[in-house]
């Protein structure tokens, strides 16, 4: 069962990325989308290879920190091998997902930094692309973070799935459906939507009335 909190978290991440996307505009978001999609494909299709690389990178770094390079320079291969064996690969078992999440976050940062080179004006479609970026990033790391199945957050052509189904949401929806129709909605849709039209017109009149004339 997926809690409604996961849905809220997903919506929150997508909303934040949507706002960032709006501020950045279309083209920087396209760059981020391409980078994210490419890295998501690699993460999805060859996760074990990526985890091996990450473990190798970590072990190599630890070897350098433990002055293993000095041993190699000095020709002391046995000592270097001993130090190498002493380093435990960090991304094993339940931590494998962490490696993939790190890769996705790093690639997301790279994508967003690359996007900074491109000048673009604020755009609602940048917001839409930002939402998409937020979803892809969430699809990569939320399953690991929350214990979701990957198929709960499908990405067409890359990851198949059935979509997010929330037991809590379903129950809430059914409960809401049993309620009588909200009177206000019924009223707004009366007479071909006349009350709704009047409400929108009044709102627009009030909004324009509050505006200041533009300075010449």
Partner 1 sequence: MSQIEYFWIIIVLLFGVVGIVRTYSRELGVTTMCVAALLLLLQFGDKILMVLQDHFADDFPWLISPRFAAGFYVVVFLIVVFISYQGITLVFKGSAPKGAVSHLLGLIVGLLNGYFIAGTVWFYLHRYDYPLGLVDGSDLSDVAQRIIQYLPPRIFEPQLGYLLGLLLVLLILSVWR
**Site residues (vs partner 1, CB under 8 A):** 7, 11, 14-15, 18-19, 22-23, 122-125, 127, 131, 163-166, 169-170, 173-174, 176-177, 181, 185, 188-189, 191-194, 196-197, 200-201, 203-208, 210-214
**Least distance (Å) between residue 116 CB and partner 1:** 19
Choose between 116 and 170: whose C-beta lies nearer to partner 1. 170
On whether the CB atoms of residues 22 and 130 are closer than 8 A, the answer is yes
Task: Please tell me the distance from the alpha carbon of residue 5 to that of residue 9, in angstroms, as a whole number.
Answer: 6
Which H or E element spans position 168? helix 167-178
Choose between 85 and 215: whose C-beta lies nearer to partner 1. 215
**Least distance (Å) between residue 211 CB and partner 1:** 3
**Least distance (Å) between residue 155 CB and partner 1:** 13
**Least distance (Å) between residue 34 CB and partner 1:** 20
Task: Please tell me the distance from the alpha carbon of residue 207 to that of residue 82, in angstroms, as a whole number.
Answer: 74
Choose between 90 and 154: whose C-beta lies nearer to partner 1. 154
Give the Å distances, CA to CA, from 104 to 1, 15, 22, 123. 26, 19, 22, 25
Task: Please tell me the distance from the alpha carbon of residue 141 to that of residue 39, in angstroms, as a whole number.
Answer: 12
Task: Please tell me the distance from the alpha carbon of residue 132 to that of residue 18, in angstroms, as a whole number.
Answer: 8
Q: Is 67 left (phi over 0), alpha (psi -120 to 50) or beta?
A: left
On whether the CB atoms of residues 113 and 31 are closer than 8 A, the answer is no
Choose between 117 and 206: whose C-beta lies nearer to partner 1. 206
**Least distance (Å) between residue 101 CB and partner 1:** 23
Choose between 18 and 28: whose C-beta lies nearer to partner 1. 18
């Amino acid at each position: 069962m997926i809690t409604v909190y996961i849905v809220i978290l997903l919506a929150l991440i997508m909303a934040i990325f949507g706002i960032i996307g709006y501020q950045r505009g279309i083209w920087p978001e396209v760059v981020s989308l391409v980078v994210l999609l490419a890295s998501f494909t690699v993460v999805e299709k060859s996760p074990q290879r990526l985890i091996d690389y990450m473990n190798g990178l970590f072990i190599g770094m630890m070897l350098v920190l433990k002055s293993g390079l000095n041993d190699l320079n000095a020709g002391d291969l046995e000592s270097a091998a001993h130090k190498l064996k002493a380093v435990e690969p960090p991304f094993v078992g339940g931590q494998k997902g962490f490696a993939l999440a790190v890769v996705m976050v790093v690639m997301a940062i790279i994508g967003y930094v690359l996007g900074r080179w491109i000048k673009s004006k604020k755009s609602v479609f940048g917001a839409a692309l930002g939402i998409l970026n937020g979803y892809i990033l969430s699809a990569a790391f939320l399953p690991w973070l929350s214990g979701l199945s990957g198929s709960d957050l499908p990405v067409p052509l890359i990851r198949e799935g059935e979509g997010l189904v929330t037991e809590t949401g379903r129950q809430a929806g059914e409960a809401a459906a049993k309620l009588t129709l909200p009177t206000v909605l019924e009223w707004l849709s009366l007479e071909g939507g006349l009350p709704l039209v009047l409400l929108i017109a009044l709102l627009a009149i009030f909004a324009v009335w509050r505006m200041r004339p533009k300075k010449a």
